[in-house]
């Protein structure tokens, strides 16, 4: 239907030009990627970038962003200074293994571009891992998200050259979380990165995926993450998004889950021009369990779109989704939850909830909590609400002498707490709570700092007393 | 294991009953040639002795339809429809004006009897005015006199065009324009007949108005058009019920129902839809692609849609409310049952435009056999709809492990004083409930019937009395075999 | 005079509920307001505390010599007006500790006092909790969330003890309480009572008044007080029920 002359916007034209040149130059060399690239180019030519004529994109219109010809090619910067010098991210008491991506390329000293540890754990650059561990790529790369899955995967395949590669061998429980800090320091770039995370049987891993902006320059980020969870593997994934208002962020994650594996995803969106998160969770083995939650706090003319697809392909799996958001000023939010229960996926438990609070008459919410169910012995439910802060509760608080603004803040924070309370790393939770409070007070602007850099509180954040500390 | 097997077997038996109303009545037809072009439309218009403006309307709609593509967003599948392979007009051969029931075609009366609609008896006993539509032309209208005393107009659409052209002209397509969608455009081009209701200011219609539709002739598309106008402070309850005879070939049904509700007026529209659903293998059956919409134009106006959908091979239907007037209220109560290879994609749209508008959606889907049953509903609160309130509850029940139950709510809110809540659950009949019934000596088959009826009760209770009984019977027939 | 309500008319959504209500309360007094359901007792509580949607169409509420008709609920609260709610709302996500501290500090700020230190605050909490026999566990939970009926009411009295109001209104505090919880609540109230504060006890039954002894009893009917007397009046009502009120003052 969309075949006729799909390449129309300046961005699409730019991308096509670069992609064709790239494919042409590769044709002469003939590499292993050639076939995939060719397929991706074909899809891109046919479909272009997603627009609001597509059912799944009808509420997120990026047409204006497509008017800027972002360049999909960024030079790899030489490692001259530590990431900390560009961008500080020191969370007190939060111990993690930090890796970073700058302008779409893995950013580290040469010796740590691909680290392999004694226990077999591998962490490093995807580009480098591709040549060093071709066996893993053959087995896992582009497998859950084939290039022709959609417009986004096609574009990503065309341009992504690097990303993070993580391999956790069978039985390895990684205690130290890995924190990815993704940065952009040049304007006008479209950055495509592809991350691959493989968790072996009985392994466990915690990953923080942070998208930050260093300045107010515009950029278009398209990240694709593929995650394989082996039998009985366990992954905690936190996504923190605090980018500037001039940035588009497309963040697609695809998960394949084997028997008894466990996935926990927490998406925390604080700021960004236009953000779209896609979670595609495939529960392929019996007993797999996915716990997906998200919090979005948007204002100005920001836009957030959370697309959560949960495919119950096997019996006895559980999934639980809770996404909550507060929309201020002219912000808009989209939630589309899609629970799909296959014919044989009996004994499925699937729950889905989306709650929204509108703070102004100019904010907007579109929520679509869908269920498509082909098995009968299931317990599925979904709910969605759009409303305001509870009037009863407001009066109760004010009757106790709490002024209107404080009461409002207290309730908003309480609304968000359901999501942040779920963060298992205590120090991270404390930091996030502080961020939420600052964000709700309108104090959190995109600073020259990391999302987690909360060491310079201009005001002491006194909201809650931690009883354990007195 | 064995228990499970036998339970499944019972489920199959219970849900496998044949279509009770499948029979063919033989009435001579006066039909248009197969196919659709401007000549067909001119012929329809001429046959009905329509004024020029109506022909123009039809032609405009037709030309617009040509530009459209059949919608593909619903969760339904069917082979492509050949719109040139349909007869767009057929009417029972017209005899001279009928003075009494004796003059009605005996075949026709017989059809009514088979359907269990003794016309005379119903007239007298139920106090229901029946405007029976066989195929496309209104044959018999009763209670016309009673109604006209109150100034109420209740007639066939064709008669209304002749007798009240100004009213028809004023309201036709004012709620569903011919540009609305593919099937609305088609209907606007070729609509055959239907009903027209006008309730004047301050009048509460003293009786329930009802129409029975039947699709009778093979290969005949059925394109009714209903227009109901309730003027200020008026009230009417309108019932629509359908049964259709068994046919092997699919029949297309694309109707339009438009309702206009003015200040402080209220319209209740109830439907029991039981067209031929096709056989157990999924052969035949009606394609029911209907556009139903009410415009609550006045302040404090109210519309309730209640539907019990048990028939048709495919149902594509979203009775909607456009809540324009301040404090207007929209309600949608639905039970949709699908069995064998039936597909239903049905729900509602609640468009909140006025201040303090309220809407309620209660939908109960029941899927059995190899059927697919989807709820699809939109709740939109526009920027100016301060204080809008919506509550939706959509439950799905699965009988057997080869069917599908789906829920697609769309909630769009652009007002910070609105409260919108949506809840939905999907489950099978609880083993506990079933066992409880069995322990009290109720056999599985009966127990399922009991539980399903209880499950749908909330909606069935919204139907007018005489319809509720019929609806319960239909649920029983569709799902429970002998259990009544 | 602490509270002087003069010819108060209050409407909800245009429907008049209070129709010329009068009441005078001095410091050190306990007033009981009794009456059948639907006579406007809870509306009175809402009007005094400034709840939205309760429109004063006529009359005045004078508190500490000032007309407070237009005051916001929090200002009234910080001036010492406390309502023990009939149905305390659950506020998920807001911990009792956090809530109480915010409330207490709001009042201190209003009074120009410095914020209370965390340690001091916790000590105060511990002390007041004992008054109504609340266990430590309760205060770590969200406000009223998952509390039993009795716990909710105890929690109201606990908050009252924390905030030390000048005018406390108890709206059907006895409803849903078993006799043991009732005694605990009454004990709390009696300990808080002083010459510097006053209580308005709204109740349907005389039961609570065995434990919280009123100085005055008022019978409310049809949106106003139809009879006033001493504590004996409550016993009279207990014996005779409200039927005679309806007979004497007409069915609504």
ipTM: 0.86
Closest to B89 in 3D by CA, of B18, B134, B32:
B32
DSSP code of residue A107:
-
CA atoms within 13 A on the CB side of A128: 18
DSSP secondary structure string for all residues of A202-263: T-EEEEEEEEE-SSS--EEEEEEEEEEE-TT-EEEEEEEEE--TTEEEEEEEEEEE-TT-EE
Q: Is A388 on the interface with C (CB under 8 A)?
A: no
Task: Tell me whether chains C and A touch (3+ CB pairs under 8 A).
Answer: yes
Q: What angle do CA A129, A131, A136 make, to 5 degrees?
A: 60
Which of B216-225, B285-294, B323-332, B409-418 reaches the highest mean pLDDT? B323-332
Structure confidence by residue, pLDDT tens digits, B188-220: 999 888 889 999 999 999 888 875 544 444 444
pLDDT at C214: 94
Start-to-end CA span in chain C (Å): 32
pLDDT at A219: 93
- Across the interface, whether the CB atoms of B403 and A374 are under 8 A apart is answered yes
| CA–CA distance, B342 with B32 (Å, rounded to integer) | 30
| CA–CA distance, B351 with B353 (Å, rounded to integer) | 6
Residues of chain A positioned with their CB less than 8 A from the CB of C119: 470
Q: Is A399 on the interface with C (CB under 8 A)?
A: yes
| CA–CA distance, A148 with A42 (Å, rounded to integer) | 9
| CA–CA distance, A427 with A19 (Å, rounded to integer) | 44
Contact between A276 and A60 (Cβ < 8 Å):
yes
Distance between B393 CA and the closest CA of chain A, angstroms = 9
Residues of chain B positioned with their CB less than 8 A from the CB of A370: 406-409
pLDDT at B476: 65
B105 pLDDT band, cuts 50/70/90, is: low
SS3 labels along chain B = CHHHHHHHHHHHHHCCCCCCCCCCCCCCEEECCECCCHHHHHHHHHHCCCCHHHHHHHHHHHHHHHHCCCCCCCCCCCCCCCHHHCECCEEECCCCCCCCHHHCCHHHHHHHHHHCCCHHHHHHHHCCEEEEEECCEEEEECCHHHHHHCCCEEEEHHHHHHHCHHHHHHHCCCCCCCCCCHHHHHHHHHCCCEEEEEECCCCECCCCEEEEEECCCCCECECCEEEEEECCCCEEEEEEEEECCCCCCCEEECCEEEEEECCCCEEEEEEEEECCCCCCCCCCCEEEEEEEEEEECCCCCEEEEEEEECCCCEEEECCEEEECCCCCEEEEEEEEEECCCCEEEECCEEEECCCCCEEEEEEEEEECCCCEEEEEEEEEECCCCCCCEEEEEEEEEECCCCCEEEEEEEEEECCCCCEEEEEEEEEECCHHHHHHHHHCCCCHHHHHHHHHHHHHHHHHCCCCHHHHHHHHHHHHHHHHCCCC
pLDDT at C160: 94
B18 pLDDT band, cuts 50/70/90, is: low
pLDDT at A157: 93
A467 pLDDT band, cuts 50/70/90, is: very low
Task: Tell me whether chains A and B touch (3+ CB pairs under 8 A).
Answer: yes
User: Which is higher by pLDDT, C185 or C246?
Assistant: C185
A397 burial type by CB count under 10 A (0-12 exposed, 13-18 middle, 19+ buried): buried
Q: Identify any residues that bridge with B422 across adjacent strands, giving them in sequence order.
A: A384, B392
Strands A303-312 and A274-283: parallel
Residue A207 has pLDDT above 50, yes or no: yes
Query: Mean pLDDT, chain C, as a whole number?
Result: 89
The percentage of residues in chain A with a pLDDT greater than 90, rounded to a whole number, is 62
pLDDT at B406: 93
Contact between A261 and A291 (Cβ < 8 Å):
no
Query: Mean pLDDT, chain A, as a whole number?
Result: 87
pLDDT at A88: 55
The percentage of residues in chain B with a pLDDT greater than 70, rounded to a whole number, is 74
Distance between A382 CA and the closest CA of chain B, angstroms = 5
Q: How many CB pairs under 8 A join A and B?
A: 118
Domain ranges for chain C? 3-249
pLDDT at B26: 54
Contact between B355 and B324 (Cβ < 8 Å):
no
pLDDT at B432: 76
Nearest Cα residue in chain A from B391: A385
B249 pLDDT band, cuts 50/70/90, is: low
Long-range contacts, A390-397 (Cβ 8 Å, 24+): A390/C89, A390/C91, A391/C52, A392/C89, A393/C89, A393/C91, A395/C51, A395/C52, A395/C73, A396/C85, A396/C88, A396/C89, A396/C91, A396/C143, A397/C91, A397/C99, A397/C103
pLDDT at B302: 97
Distance between B382 CA and the closest CA of chain A, angstroms = 10
Structure confidence by residue, pLDDT tens digits, B396-413: 999 888 899 999 999 999
A116 burial type by CB count under 10 A (0-12 exposed, 13-18 middle, 19+ buried): middle
Contact between A213 and A249 (Cβ < 8 Å):
no
Torsion of CA A412, A418, A422, A425, to 10 degrees: 20
| CA–CA distance, C250 with C91 (Å, rounded to integer) | 41
Strands A97-102 and A105-106: antiparallel
Structure confidence by residue, pLDDT tens digits, B42-70: 988 888 889 999 999 999 999 999 998 88
SS3 labels along chain C = CCEEEEEEEEEECCEEEEEEEEEEECCCCEEEEECCCCCCHHHHHHHHHCCCCEEEEEEEEEECCEECCCCCHHHHHHCCEEEECCCCCCEEEEEHHHHHHHHHHHHHHHCCCCCCCHHHHHHHHHHHHHHCCCCHHHHCCEECCCCCHHHHHHHHHHHHHHHCCCEEEEECCCCCCCHHHHHHHHHHHHHHCCCCCEEEEEECCCHHHHCCCCCEEEEEECCEEEEEECCHHHHHHHHHCCHHHHHHHCCC
Least confident range of A288-292, A294-298, B125-129, B432-436: B125-129
User: Which is higher by pLDDT, B469 or C76?
Assistant: C76
User: C106-116 b/e with 16+ CB inside 10 Å = b?
Assistant: bbeeeeeeeeb
| CA–CA distance, A282 with A313 (Å, rounded to integer) | 7
Q: Is A53 on the interface with B (CB under 8 A)?
A: no
C249 pLDDT band, cuts 50/70/90, is: confident
Phi-psi region of A365 (alpha: psi -120 to 50; beta: other; left: phi over 0): beta
Structure confidence by residue, pLDDT tens digits, B76-88: 888 888 888 887 8
The percentage of residues in chain B with a pLDDT greater than 90, rounded to a whole number, is 40
pLDDT at A57: 93
Torsion of CA A29, A34, A39, A41, to 10 degrees: -50
User: Which is higher by pLDDT, A333 or A427?
Assistant: A333
Residue range C107-120: average pLDDT? Answer: 90
- Across the interface, whether the CB atoms of C91 and A470 are under 8 A apart is answered no
Question: What's the gap between Cα B440 and its chain centre?
Answer: 38
pLDDT at A431: 83
Q: How many CB pairs under 8 A join A and C?
A: 90
| Tokens found for residue C20 | 């010329």
Residue range A370-381: average pLDDT? Answer: 91
Torsion of CA A282, A283, A288, A292, to 10 degrees: 50
pLDDT at A440: 81
Q: What angle do CA B271, B275, B277 make, to 5 degrees?
A: 130
Distance between C86 CA and the closest CA of chain A, angstroms = 12
Phi-psi region of A329 (alpha: psi -120 to 50; beta: other; left: phi over 0): left
Residue range C48-68: average pLDDT? Answer: 94
- Across the interface, whether the CB atoms of C88 and A396 are under 8 A apart is answered yes
A327 pLDDT band, cuts 50/70/90, is: very high
Task: Tell me whether chains B and C touch (3+ CB pairs under 8 A).
Answer: no
**CB neighbours of residue A352 within 10 Å:** 25
Neighbours of chain A (3+ CB pairs under 8 A): B, C
Residues of chain A positioned with their CB less than 8 A from the CB of B406: 370-373
- Across the interface, whether the CB atoms of A403 and C89 are under 8 A apart is answered no
Residue to substitute from B71, B399, B414, interface A, most A β-carbons within 10 A:
B414
Distance between C99 CA and the closest CA of chain A, angstroms = 8
Residues of chain A positioned with their CB less than 8 A from the CB of C111: none
Q: Is A382 on the interface with B (CB under 8 A)?
A: yes
pLDDT at B446: 67
Q: Identify any residues that bridge with B55 across adjacent strands, giving them in sequence order.
A: none
Residue range A408-428: average pLDDT? Answer: 89
In which residue are the tokens 């059995």 written?
B368
Contact between A246 and A215 (Cβ < 8 Å):
no
Please tell us whether the domain made up of C3-249 is placed in CATH 3.40.190.10: no
Q: Identify any residues that bridge with A274 across adjacent strands, giving them in sequence order.
A: A248, A303
Torsion of CA A155, A156, A157, A162, to 10 degrees: 150
Neighbours of chain C (3+ CB pairs under 8 A): A
Residue A66 has pLDDT above 90, yes or no: yes
Residue C18 has pLDDT above 50, yes or no: yes
Residue range A346-368: average pLDDT? Answer: 93
The percentage of residues in chain A with a pLDDT greater than 70, rounded to a whole number, is 89
- Across the interface, whether the CB atoms of A365 and B411 are under 8 A apart is answered yes
Residue range A275-303: average pLDDT? Answer: 95
Residue B8 has pLDDT above 60, yes or no: no
- Across the interface, whether the CB atoms of A370 and B408 are under 8 A apart is answered yes
| Tokens found for residue C21 | 């209500």
Helix (H, G, I), strand (E, B) or coil at A139: helix
Residue B462 has pLDDT above 80, yes or no: yes
Q: Identify any residues that bridge with A264 across adjacent strands, giving them in sequence order.
A: A236, A291
| Tokens found for residue C237 | 């009502």
B106 pLDDT band, cuts 50/70/90, is: low
- Across the interface, whether the CB atoms of C97 and A397 are under 8 A apart is answered no
Q: Which of A359, A370, A387 sits opposite B407 (nearest CB)?
A: A370
pLDDT at B248: 44
Structure confidence by residue, pLDDT tens digits, C135-178: 766 666 888 888 888 888 989 999 999 999 999 999 998 887 88
User: Which is higher by pLDDT, A92 or A412?
Assistant: A412
Distance between A17 CA and the closest CA of chain C, angstroms = 52
Nearest Cα residue in chain A from C142: A414
């Amino acid at each position: 239907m969309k075949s006729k002359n799909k390449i129309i916007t300046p961005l699409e034209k730019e991308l096509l030009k670069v992609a064709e040149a790239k494919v042409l130059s590769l044709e002469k060399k003939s590499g292993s990627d050639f076939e995939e690239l060719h397929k991706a180019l074909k899809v891109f030519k046919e479909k272009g970038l997603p627009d609001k004529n597509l059912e799944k994109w009808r509420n997120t219109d990026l047409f204006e962003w497509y008017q800027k010809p972002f360049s999909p090619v960024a030079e790899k910067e030489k490692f001259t200074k530590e990431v900390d010098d560009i961008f500080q991210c020191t969370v007190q008491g939060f111990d993690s293994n930090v890796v970073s991506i700058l302008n779409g390329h893995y950013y580290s000293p040469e010796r740590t571009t691909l680290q392999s540890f004694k226990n077999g754990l591998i962490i490093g650059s995807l580009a480098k891992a591709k040549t060093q561990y071709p066996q893993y790529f053959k087995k896992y790369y582009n497998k859950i998200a084939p290039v022709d899955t959609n417009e986004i995967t096609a574009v990503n395949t065309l341009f992504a050259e690097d990303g993070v590669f993580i391999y956790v061998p069978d039985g390895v429980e990684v205690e130290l979380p890995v924190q990815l800090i993704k940065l952009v320091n040049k304007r006008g770039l479209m950055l495509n990165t592809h991350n691959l995370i493989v968790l072996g049987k009985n392994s466990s891993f915690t990953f923080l995926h942070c998208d930050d902006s260093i300045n107010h320059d515009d950029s278009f980020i398209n990240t694709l993450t593929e995650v394989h969870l082996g039998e009985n593997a366990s992954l905690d994934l936190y996504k923190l998004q605090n980018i500037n208002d001039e940035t588009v962020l497309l963040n697609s994650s695809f998960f394949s889950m084997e028997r008894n594996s466990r996935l926990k995803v927490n998406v925390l969106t604080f700021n960004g021009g236009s953000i779209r998160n896609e979670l595609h969770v495939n529960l392929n083995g019996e007993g797999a369990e996915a716990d997906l939650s998200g919090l979005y706090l948007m204002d100005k003319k920001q836009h957030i779109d959370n697309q959560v697809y949960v495919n119950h392909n096997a019996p006895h799996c559980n999934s639980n989704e809770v996404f909550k958001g507060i929309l201020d000023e002219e912000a808009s939010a989209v939630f589309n939850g899609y629970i799909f229960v296959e014919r044989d996926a009996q004994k499925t438990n699937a729950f889905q909830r989306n709650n929204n609070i509108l703070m102004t008459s100019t904010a907007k919410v579109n929520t679509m909590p869908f269920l498509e169910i082909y098995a009968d012995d299931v317990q599925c439910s979904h709910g969605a609400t759009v409303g305001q802060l509870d009037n009863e509760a407001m009066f109760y608080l004010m009757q106790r002498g709490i002024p209107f603004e404080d009461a409002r803040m207290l309730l908003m924070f309480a609304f968000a707490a359901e999501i942040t309370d779920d963060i298992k790393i205590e120090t991270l939770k404390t930091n996030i709570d502080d961020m939420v409070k600052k964000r709700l007070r309108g104090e959190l602007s995109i600073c020259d700092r990391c999302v987690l850099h909360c060491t310079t509180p201009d005001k002491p954040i006194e909201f809650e007393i931690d009883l354990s500390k007195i | 294991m064995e228990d499970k097997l036998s339970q499944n077997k019972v489920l199959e038996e219970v849900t496998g009953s044949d279509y009770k109303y499948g029979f063919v009545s033989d009435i001579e037809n006066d039909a248009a040639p197969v196919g659709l072009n401007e000549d067909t439309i001119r012929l329809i218009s001429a046959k009905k002795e329509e004024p020029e403006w109506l022909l123009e309307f039809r032609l405009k709609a037709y030309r617009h339809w040509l530009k459209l593509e059949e919608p593909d967003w619903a969760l339904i599948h069917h082979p492509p429809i050949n719109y040139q392979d349909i007869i767009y007009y057929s009417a029972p051969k017209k005899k001279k004006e009928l003075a009494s029931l004796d003059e009605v075609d005996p075949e026709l009366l017989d059809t009514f009897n088979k359907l269990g609609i003794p016309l005379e008896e119903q007239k007298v006993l139920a106090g229901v005015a029946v405007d029976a539509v066989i195929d496309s032309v209104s044959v018999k209208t009763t209670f016309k006199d009673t109604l006209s005393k109150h100034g109420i107009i209740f007639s066939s659409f064709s008669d209304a065009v002749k007798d009240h052209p100004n009213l028809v002209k004023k309201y036709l397509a004012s709620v569903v324009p011919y540009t609305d969608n593919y099937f609305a455009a088609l209907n606007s081009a070729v609509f055959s007949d239907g009903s027209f209701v006008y309730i004047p200011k301050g009048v509460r219609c003293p009786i329930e108005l009802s129409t029975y539709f039947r699709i009778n002739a093979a290969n005949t598309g059925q394109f009714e058009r209903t227009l109901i106008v309730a003027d200020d402070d008026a009230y009417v309850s309108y019932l629509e019920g359908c049964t259709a005879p068994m046919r092997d070939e699919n029949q297309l049904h694309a109707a339009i129902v438009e309702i206009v509700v003015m200040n402080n007026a209220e319209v209740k529209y109830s439907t029991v839809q039981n067209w031929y659903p096709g056989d157990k293998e999924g052969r035949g059956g009606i394609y029911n692609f209907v556009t139903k919409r009410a415009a609550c134009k006045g302040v404090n106006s109210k519309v309730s849609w209640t539907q019990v959908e048990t028939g048709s091979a495919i149902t594509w239907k979203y009775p909607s409310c456009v809540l324009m007037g301040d404090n207007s209220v929209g309600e949608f109560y639905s039970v949709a049952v699908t069995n064998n290879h039936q597909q239903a994609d049905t729900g509602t749209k609640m468009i909140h435009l006025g201040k303090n508008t309220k809407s309620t959606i209660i939908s109960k889907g029941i899927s059995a056999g190899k059927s697919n049953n989807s709820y699809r509903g939109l709740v939109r609160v526009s920027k100016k709809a301060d204080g809008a309130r919506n509550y939706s509850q959509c439950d799905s029940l699965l009988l057997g492990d080869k069917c599908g139950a789906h829920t697609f709510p769309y909630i769009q809110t652009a007002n910070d004083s609105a409260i919108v809540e949506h809840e939905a659950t999907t489950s099978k009949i609880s083993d506990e409930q079933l066992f409880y019934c069995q322990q009290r000596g109720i056999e599985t088959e009966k127990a399922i019937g009991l539980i399903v009826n209880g499950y749908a009760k909330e909606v069935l209770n919204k139907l007018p009395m005489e319809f509720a009984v019929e609806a319960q019977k239909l649920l029983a027939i569709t799902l429970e075999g002998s259990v009544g | 005079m602490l509270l002087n309500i003069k010819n108060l008319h209050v409407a909800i959504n245009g429907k008049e509920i209070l129709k010329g209500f009068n009441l005078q309360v001095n410091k050190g007094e306990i007033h009981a307001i009794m009456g059948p359901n639907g006579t406007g007792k809870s509306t009175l509580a809402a009007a005094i505390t400034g709840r939205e949607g309760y429109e004063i169409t006529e009359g005045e509420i004078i508190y500490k010599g000032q007309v407070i008709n237009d005051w916001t609920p929090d200002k009234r609260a910080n001036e010492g007006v406390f309502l023990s709610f009939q149905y305390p709302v659950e506020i998920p996500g807001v911990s009792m500790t956090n809530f109480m501290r915010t409330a207490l500090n709001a009042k201190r700020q209003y009074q120009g006092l410095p914020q209370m230190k965390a340690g001091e605050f916790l000590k105060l909490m511990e002390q007041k909790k004992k008054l109504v026999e609340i266990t430590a566990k309760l205060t770590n939970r969200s406000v009223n969330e998952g509390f039993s009926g009795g716990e909710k009411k105890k929690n109201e009295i606990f908050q009252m003890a924390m905030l030390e109001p000048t005018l406390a209104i108890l709206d059907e505090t006895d409803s849903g309480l078993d006799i043991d919880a009732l005694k605990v609540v009454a004990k709390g109230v009696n300990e808080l009572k002083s010459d510097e504060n006053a209580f308005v006890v709204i109740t349907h039954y005389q039961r609570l008044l065995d434990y919280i002894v009123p100085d005055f009893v008022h019978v409310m009917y049809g949106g106003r007080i139809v009879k006033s007397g001493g504590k004996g009046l409550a016993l009279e009502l207990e014996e005779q029920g409200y039927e005679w009120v309806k007979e004497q003052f007409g069915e609504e």
